[in-house]
Amino acid sequence: MKGIKKHTHADREKVIRDIVPLIKKMFGDNLLALATCCSFARDEDTDYSDLELVAFVKTMPPDKSRGGLAKMFDGMLIELVWMTRENYLKTTLDVNEYWHYSGSDRLRPIINEEFIAELGTYRPANLRQKCLDQAVGCFAEYQEAVTKVLNAVNQRNREGVPVVFGDMITQLLKLLSFLNQEPYVTASRMFAQARQFRTKPKSLDTLLDMAVEGGYRDLDMLHEVTVAVFEEFETIFEDLGLVLYDDDIDPNKLIHKSRRA
């Protein structure tokens, strides 16, 4: 495999030493700070981990909020994104529809340690309410994913079940992150982290076990557990005083502010 090779943490450190002067040349005086993020920044990078870097710039072109590039170098994916401090806070650290992935975005400074340390102290205002708003907003995506699983089961569509089941699990994990106001640290530990959440359906572990062990092939069991988890989510939202469903079909009337079509 020419495009995939094993690398050590030390290999990535060498790449960083080699690329930093090039990044400085690329941005010139517009560069404020540079950091690594994700697995390398957490000292958790393994054989096939990517190397991800974030550059903070003073200004961006009027028509762009962020920039990015990817290099496939010696069997390693190297990704560099750049943006202003304000946009990083808005798109990465503040609560938005992608916030559930933000637990991986620990920054390790390369240039301007003070700047990076200040970012590390940021906490979104009104975190709980913003997360609950997002939970209500993304419930429609989970509902749609569940209906696709139920349709596949009813049609005995064994080829389609793994695909729609995987999407349902993805939407479910997103929902749990917002309900617990806790983002995921890394994709490989999402299941383990979700199992530890305080707010979760009673049947969650059974559903996750089905994903790990391939139990979703038992279509009748899949139907039973999928319905149970969905109904338990409804109870969780009801107990939190959150309204999921629209009583009026009129499209001229406002829907929930976080609801995405």
At 261 the pLDDT is 44
User: pLDDT tens, 30-51?
Assistant: 999 999 988 898 898 999 999 9
Inside any domain, residue 193: yes
The DSSP code for 3 is T
- Running DSSP on this structure, what letter comes out for residue 104? G
Based on the domain organization, do 37 and 139 belong to the same domain?
Answer: no
CA distance linking residue 117 with residue 95, whole number of Å: 20
Q: Does 220 map to a domain?
A: yes
Domain's final residue, options 120, 141, 163: 120
Looking at the structure of the chain, the number of domains it has is: 2
Q: Rg of the Cα trace of the chain?
A: 21
Tokens of 77: 């994916």
> What is the full DSSP assignment across 140-209?
HHHHHHHHHHHHHHHTT-TTTHHHHHHHHHHHHHHHHHHHTT---S-GGGHHHHHHH-SS--TTHHHHHH
Give the chain's mean pLDDT: 92
Which residue range(s) make up the domain with 233? 127-239
Domain boundary among 120, 153, 175: 120
* CATH of residue 34: 3.30.460.10
Task: Encode pLDDT of 137-168 as tens digits.
Answer: 999 999 999 999 999 999 999 999 999 999 99
Length of the chain: 261
Encode 218-231 in three state secondary structure.
Answer: CHHHHHHHHHHHHH
Is 135 inside any structural domain?
A: yes
Decide if pLDDT at 202 tops 50: yes
Tell whether 115 and 138 lie within a shared domain: no
Six token digits for residue 198: 């305080």
Give pLDDT, residue 103: 67
Q: 134 and 103 share a domain? A: no
In a domain, 206, yes or no: yes
Examine the domain organization and report whether 56 and 90 are in the same domain: yes
